[in-house]
Structure 1
Amino acid sequence: MGDSKKRSQVVTPRKRRPKAGASRRSGAMNANYFFASPALLMKIGGVLALILIAFIGYRWLVGSGTFSLHRVRVTGASAGLTAEIEQTVRKASAQTSVADLDLTSLRQKVEALPKVQAASVRRALPDELRIDVTERQPAVLVRRENGNLAWLDSEGIELGDLNSMKIGGSATLPPVARGFSEGARSPAAGADDRDRIAIYKQIEKEFGQDPGAVLDMVDEIDLTYTKDVNLRIAGTAVMVHVGSRDFRNRFETGLAVLDAARRGNEDLLRRYKVPDAASVIKNSDRINYIEAARSDRVVLSFSSPGAEKKDKQDRQETTKR
């Protein structure tokens, strides 16, 4: 009875501590195996030798001129722009092999050219660069404040002077636009110029909808104020105010009124509700402004005597520039 009441005793054996000498012997054995294995040493040495040979060979190839730039292939650009791009690329890569060129930096240099809208640059080893570009296209011909003509693209970026661009083989120039920003443009000024180009294109669209070369009767489009557009009748000093819409119909009204005044047609002038038709006919050679955007009537303004002759001379001088 007494034995059955005795508690069971569980004895946990004490963990053996590893002998310091054994651990040191194990590490020494691993090190000895590493240094004493000829096959392993040969493999490691072979890999290092291959890396060294490859590096030396690469540097030798680079230094030998094998990777020097020999060919630049440009696609998507006109002949003049192609030459400009090639010159830029060769100058930027003169001291660097094709293999070591920073393509991002090179692309940025190409895109910095005024006529380049976007570009991509690829290398074709050992000695060639391939460049694909999107060239900016002329959208509008503008007259600057100094009288010079310049081409702008659809974003308002200046591409060059009148003779720097070829447009579709046509000998006829489009109407010249006026009122665009000059010099360094702020973001707001750039947005305003894009609005002006959109209006210019809308005028072209309206004038081209029906048969008849009505646009040929316009030689200047004043877009200084986009809500108050003025069109100048070709060969005259007469500006027709067409406002911000219905450009063709309003311009044709101005043409009809000017023609009626010069032919002495009082009935037609009265039909357009032109005040004092008789006086208008008498001074028809001094008409310089026709307000055609009003819904109630057409209003005319006149230059002072002799101003018409002076304005004609000024236009001839400007055209020669």
Structure 2
Amino acid sequence: MRRLHGILPILFLLLAIYQVLGQNSWPSRERRCVARHKCRHQVDFRAMTKGNNGCPAPETYCQNIHILNDVPDISVEETVNPECGRPNTRGVTFEVPNMDGFAQEFEFPWMVALLDIKGEYLGGGAIISPEVVITANHVTNNLTEDQLIVRAGEWDLKTNSEHFPHVDARIRSIVRHPGFDKYNGANNVALLFLRTPLKFTQHIKLICLPPNNRNIRNLDYSRCILSGWGKKSFNDFTDMNVLKKMELPIVHNNKCEYQLRRFFGYTFQLDNSLLCASGELGKDTCGSDGGSPLACSLREDPQRYELAGIVNFRVLCGKQDVPTVYTNVGKIRDWIIIETNKNLNVSARTS
């Protein structure tokens, strides 16, 4: 017993020394949310889909010892005469592995969200010039210029912690195609003319318009991409927070017309101003994707995209052999150019 009493003080002393040394030598396991480019170790998107440990999508839950405190913040730089249709395939400030079904940070810089005055998401659109956004007619239906907001430079709708801020632009005028037919979707397109031109940066750029009556054979069928914040699948209850991305094949009009006659009857004819895509199981537009762009890469330049279509209407969501219908931008290019020149000239004369 006396020997035990003599050993106990030594044990307590050793324990105290161990605790002091441990605090100074063992790496801290404390973590916090930081910008992704400021963390040495990254997690893949599967961790983000499980809540991202409470961090916004542009941030990661980083162990303190892995935080790169000496990394400077990234600044937004205005881009002079940017080349149209160039995506940020690896993101702008960071890249997340395994982003299946979702876009990288600012991957599609031409993508815009259309919001109501309360900030609620209504649909998508695409930037085709500093002052013009293209979308679907039905998204703007019964709304005035003062009731819509164009949000450019967005990725995650539910946070403002992205490294580059989004830009909310007010609309000067809305020009809707006079040949729009709500019964068959013909000419379902509208142009939104902005009060103030957008400044092009790393995360805000325009998409290329196709040449007039674009021959679809010049597009890479396997590299058409739909982006938008609508529901990812029929089973989802809400629209997406992070911008989704789906690779979809073009479906020839004759085949699309045949497949859709199961729903519209044997006399159904697909209007010449339309095109179809998808028809693959689990890959489709769902929810509020109206007006969102279908961008296809060029065979001669696979890293460059042009605006093949904008989401028009669908019958079912993500069903096999049931394609979605898009407004064919190549078929209405002349109208786009005429209205753009007319309305920009009016703006120049009155300013």
Q: Which has the larger radius of gyration?
A: 1
TM-score (norm 1): 0.30
Structure with more of its chain in helix, by fraction: 1
Q: Which has the higher contact order (CA 8 A, sep 6+)?
A: 2
Structure with more of its chain in strand, by fraction: 2
TM-score (norm 2): 0.28
